[in-house]
Structure 1
Amino acid sequence: MPHLPAPGPTSVRTTGDYYQWLVAWESCLTLLRENATRSHNPIHTVGVELDGVGNLDDVVLLRDAPPNTYKQVKYAVDSTTPVNEEYLTKPSASGGPSILKKIAKTWRELTADGGSADVRLVTNRAADPEDDLMAGRDARTGLLMPKAAVGGAKSLRGKARARWAQEAGVTEAELIDLLSVLRFDLPLDMVRFQENLQLLMTVTGLRHDQQALEKGVGWVAKMVREGHRKLTKTMIEAAVTELELKAGPARAILSIATLKPDPLASEADHAIDWIDRFDGDSDYTKRRPLSPHTWAQLQTDIEAAPGHLPAGTTAVSVTGSIRLAPAFLVGTTFRMVTGTDLAAVQRGRTGSQLWSSNEPFDTPLAPEVIEHEISQGDEIAVAIAVATDPTEDVFEYLDEQNLPVSKLIVLTPPSGTANDGSIPDSAAANALAVGIRDHLRRCTRRVRRMHLFLACPMGLAVLLGNRWNRLCQTIVYEDIKIDDGYEAAFTIEA
């Protein structure tokens, strides 16, 4: 395809405005979800270029009790200006105060009465990995702390702190206080930001296609053009109705990350971050806990999650990057008998879908069944072969480990063929989950333990766990690809 021409001044200006409207629409979504899920101290108003808050006025999230959130939005057309000391401390093009000085001045004013403020610099620029302070940014929080405070006055960080404090017009102690609340939300590039917003629209119970996103962002732009600087809950809810964006209930977000950071972690009602506790250098190799961490510890964390969600939560969406055994455990933690509508965002060939446990279906889908005699004991092994067929690998594992199983039951989609597109949507996933459960109920009535091996879409693993009741004790295995091939992850009473 031909290359795009270099952007002109008008293009840069309008794209920068659009980026700011994306940030504002994100805040509107957060307001809707927090109020719908009865979060503590929810947002009641989203300010856009709000008066009286100094240079942190681009997008403001107002709550009944502090801290309010103040976002400075900066868009760049290319990667020539990473976020580093030079970018933050140099005077503006017109010779005015630097970005850091403006932020520090406004932060001082906002907290002069002893209150608190959540301050954020939102940009599509990346952090400079060579910068003495920015290199210590915590990807989980966006904060430069605690690493920014490490090192004496003669260290590289110490010298950088002194320069930043001088430029900001604050003491080093005040700078540390500022860096404790100043989050660097970056790099939020345009494409990834739009994808994240579509995910957030999904769990907020809205349509999440590109057209729906453009409708929401367009409404923000229209409000700003008409002079509305405060977007209230009533206004935002009316816009959702007028734009016909409503698709389902807004959900509490449970973020679980074991492979890579979850873009919705900052929006989550509860987040479990095990990225650094899993063995491997990439999301392709992270398959089991890194010693001394254990599967049992992860099970404890996941099973404690309901207690960390807002009181009265009845609709939950699990987000993040996890493998199949943890996904199944999430389903059993929020089993249907608890009355929770549990959902997972399932990525497929046609984009992302929300697979919800409350999705109606006509009749259960009975899986195709293949049974293999093992004759090593009186327990049963089950392989869910939906995305791919793991039969050969499971056979090998059962033999090498001499597991006490009488047979291996392989369950495939009704078509009998395992492939990535075998489950088209949420209704089919629920129907198949019920069909699998019902079949296993019949053939495990006199079995005390089941060994479960999963090769299916993540969403099906969640929904299958959600329906997992009136069954025997289940040991769920994770495919670790190395050593023995599989590893027992969780033991579940069903």
Structure 2
Amino acid sequence: MAHLPAPGPTSVRTTGDYYQWLVAWEACLTLLRENATRSHNPVRAVGVELDGVGNLDDVVLLRDVPPNTYKQVKYTVDSTTPVNEEYLTKPSTSGGPSILKKIARTWRKLTADSGSTDLRLVTNRAVDPADILVAGRDARTGLLMPKAGTDGAGSNRGKARARWAQEAGLTEAELLDLLSVLRFDLSLDMAWFQEHLKLLMAIAGLRNDQRALEEGAGWVAKMVREGRRELTLAIVESAVAELDLKAGPARAVLSIATLKPDPMAPDADHGIDWVDRFDGDSDYTKRHPLAPHTWAQLQADIEAAPGRLPAGTAAVSVTGSIRLAPAFLVGTTFRMVTGTDLAAVQRGQLWSTNDPFDTALPPEASEHEIGQGDEIAVAIATAMDPTRDVLEYLREQNLPVAKLIVLRPPGGTAKDGSVPDSAAANALAVGIRDHLRSATRRVRRMHLFLACPMGLAVLLGNRWNRLCETVIYEDIKLDDGYQPAFTIQA
């Protein structure tokens, strides 16, 4: 395989410019979505290389009520310059002030009248894990605080604080104030960032293919060449029309994280962060709440979400890393009878409850007699077949069920990719619901076990009406294998 040649100065410069245009296009998407969904204090204009705001002028999100967001964009072609003390405090190649000193000067200027501000360093550079201050960055917020403020003056962290403060021309107290508003948006490599923007475009109701992304970034570059430094809502909406980018409704964003921080959380209209409330050391082992936190508390948080979104919200996208029981609960919280167009992020796509399909897909069903009561257990088996584990759990726990109904995709094979897209997921969700309406017509309670894509769990929950009371279980793998998570009235 032939390798690409090393990039020349022109290539580095043009790629860096393109990266900045992508960051500006991201701000335009925020402008569109926040105004369309009537978010509180939406962005009113996007500045690109805006005059009068110091060195954090690359991209500016202007709001009627502070804080405004000021972004400095730094692109690199390789990984030789991670973000650390040396990178932030060394003079520029021409002998000018360091990045940290420039940011500190701009911060002083922007807060001279005691106003609030939101500062961002946006780069594809990674964190230097050996740097005591930068390595303490909170992944949820991008801030170096609160860790940067811990430990005494004689500690390694304290000595680093003193060096940073001296270079920035600030007292240590002022430095900590700066670090409380300076977010480090790091490791945003080009490929990841482009995929992230495509998802934002879909949530903003735009076409989200690579060509559409290139057109959006190209339009920003054109505006800069023409000397337009402030892009208003009217200007951006006109560009969307000219480029024929409109594809659907702009959506309010509900971020729910239980396994790892959600990259979409900063863009969310409401966020539920349970990462530290779930038990486990990694994304793969976090399967249930960590005491004293409970499933009931998570249910209350999710069911309160509609009231936390902008008034009149009709279209919602749920993002984040959640397991199947919470995903199903999100669907039932915004169920179809509420009139909400609900979408879930599945493999980088939006699976929407309003996506059309031809006809319902009846699932392939099998039944297993249990004989322990008059309730019903149901296993949705599309990604894998949990029948043996569910049967074992039902018998060991002596749950009062008469039988287990296992529902598989048409063809009967549970496997990855058996539900390929949103249309198939919607059709199968309707087929499953209709089958269970008939099978549980005289049943008081259903016990539901899911082994399916997260998007299907959301779409199925959205259509979960005219059914009996449902207890939804989570696969925790340990101890008893399953755990009852939520009880839903349907």
Give the partner amino acid of 2:23.
Answer: V
Give the partner amino acid of 2:16.
Answer: G
Give the partner amino acid of 1:469.
Answer: N
Give the partner amino acid of 2:85.
Answer: E
Which residue does the alignment assign to 2:284? Answer: 284
Which residue does the alignment assign to 1:453? Answer: 449
Which residue does the alignment assign to 2:225? Answer: 225
Q: TM-score, normalised by structure 2?
A: 0.97
Equivalences for residues 47-62 of structure 1 within 5 A: 47-62=47-62
Looking at structure 2, the residues matched to 334 and 109 of structure 1 have their Cα atoms a distance apart, in angstroms, of 45
1:492 equivalent in alignment to 2:482: no
1:379 equivalent in alignment to 2:375: yes
1:61-85 Cα distance to aligned partner (Å, 9 max, x none):
1111111110000111111111111
Give the match's secondary structure for 2:104: helix
1:125 equivalent in alignment to 2:121: no
Which residue does the alignment assign to 2:356? Answer: 360
Q: CA deviation at 1:295?
A: 1.6
Which residue does the alignment assign to 2:79? Answer: 79
Looking at structure 2, the residues matched to 80 and 362 of structure 1 have their Cα atoms a distance apart, in angstroms, of 53
Q: CA deviation at 1:357?
A: 1.1
Looking at structure 2, the residues matched to 109 and 252 of structure 1 have their Cα atoms a distance apart, in angstroms, of 34
Looking at structure 2, the residues matched to 421 and 173 of structure 1 have their Cα atoms a distance apart, in angstroms, of 54
Moved more, 404-413 or 430-439: 430-439
Contact residue 199 and residue 349 of structure 2 kept, 8 A? no
Which residue does the alignment assign to 2:478? Answer: 482
Equivalences for residues 42-441 of structure 1 within 5 A: 42-347=42-347, 352-441=348-437
Q: TM-score, normalised by structure 1?
A: 0.97
Contact residue 165 and residue 172 of structure 2 kept, 8 A? yes
Which residue does the alignment assign to 2:462? Answer: 466
Give the partner amino acid of 1:114.
Answer: S
Moved more, 30-39 or 130-139: 130-139
Give the match's secondary structure for 1:130: coil
1:3-37 Cα distance to aligned partner (Å, 9 max, x none):
22211111111111111111001101111110011
Give the partner amino acid of 2:285.
Answer: T
1:110-169 Cα distance to aligned partner (Å, 9 max, x none):
111121111110011112222221122111001111111222222222222221111111
Looking at structure 2, the residues matched to 130 and 294 of structure 1 have their Cα atoms a distance apart, in angstroms, of 37
Looking at structure 1, the residues matched to 486 and 223 of structure 2 have their Cα atoms a distance apart, in angstroms, of 51
1:24 equivalent in alignment to 2:21: no
Looking at structure 2, the residues matched to 357 and 51 of structure 1 have their Cα atoms a distance apart, in angstroms, of 44
Q: RMSD of aligned C-alpha atoms?
A: 1.3
Looking at structure 2, the residues matched to 460 and 154 of structure 1 have their Cα atoms a distance apart, in angstroms, of 55
Percent identity (aligned): 83
Give the partner amino acid of 2:317.
Answer: S
Contact residue 57 and residue 71 of structure 2 kept, 8 A? yes
Looking at structure 1, the residues matched to 318 and 147 of structure 2 have their Cα atoms a distance apart, in angstroms, of 31
Q: CA deviation at 1:422?
A: 2.4
1:374-417 Cα distance to aligned partner (Å, 9 max, x none):
11111100011122221121111112211110011111222222
Looking at structure 2, the residues matched to 36 and 327 of structure 1 have their Cα atoms a distance apart, in angstroms, of 25
Moved more, 10-19 or 290-299: 290-299
Looking at structure 2, the residues matched to 30 and 230 of structure 1 have their Cα atoms a distance apart, in angstroms, of 15
Looking at structure 2, the residues matched to 9 and 427 of structure 1 have their Cα atoms a distance apart, in angstroms, of 47
Q: CA deviation at 1:231?
A: 1.4
Unaligned runs of 5+ in 2: none
Which residue does the alignment assign to 1:443? Answer: 439
Looking at structure 1, the residues matched to 291 and 406 of structure 2 have their Cα atoms a distance apart, in angstroms, of 32
Give the partner amino acid of 2:417.
Answer: G
Unaligned runs of 5+ in 1: none
Moved more, 37-46 or 276-285: 276-285
Moved over 4 A (4+): none
Give the match's secondary structure for 2:322: coil
Give the match's secondary structure for 2:484: strand
